[in-house]
């Protein structure tokens, strides 16, 4: 694959957004960052990422709503979605899967674990 995969990362915590963006950039991905759920949906519909990593607890739209909206639009309906969150109850995980998420990474997370999950989601 000559083109770098495009990954959308949405998190309202600027430190986490920067960390994930930097790590994925170093791993060879092109990254679009979004500070809230509404912006994440706008970015995804504008550029159609290969993968979305979405925080659950964000302003404007939460991660569940973002996942649901991405699943409703043809260009983004099949992209892998990884939810990133501190919500670790089984009911939260189930809600994320029902909203359309493919994977669930619990905060705090290791960048090595996130890298593995991104590679698995993209089939690399």
**Which band of pLDDT confidence, cut at 50, 70 and 90, is reported for residue 2?**
very low
User: Does pLDDT of 1 surpass 50?
Assistant: no
Q: How far apart are CA 3 and CA 63, in angstroms?
A: 27
What is the pTM assigned to this prediction?
Answer: 0.93
**Computed over its alpha carbons, how large is the radius of gyration of the chain?**
13
- pLDDT > 90 fraction of the chain, expressed in percent and rounded: 79
For the chain, domains (ranges, CATH) are 6-109+117-121 (3.40.50.2300)
User: pLDDT, tens digit, for every residue of 26-50?
Assistant: 999 999 999 999 999 999 999 999 9
């Amino acid at each position: 694959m000559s083109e770098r995969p495009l990954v959308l990362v949405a998190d309202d915590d600027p430190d986490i957004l920067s960390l994930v963006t930097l790590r994925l950039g170093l791993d060879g991905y092109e990254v679009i960052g979004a500070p809230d759920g509404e912006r994440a949906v706008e970015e995804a519909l504008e550029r159609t990422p290969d993968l979305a990593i979405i925080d659950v607890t964000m302003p404007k739209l939460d991660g569940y709503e973002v996942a649901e909206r991405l699943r409703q639009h043809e260009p983004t309906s099949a992209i892998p979605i990884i939810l990133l969150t501190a919500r670790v109850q089984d009911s939260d995980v189930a809600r994320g899967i029902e909203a359309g998420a493919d994977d669930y990474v619990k905060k705090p997370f290791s960048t090595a674990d996130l890298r593995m999950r991104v590679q698995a989601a993209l089939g690399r």
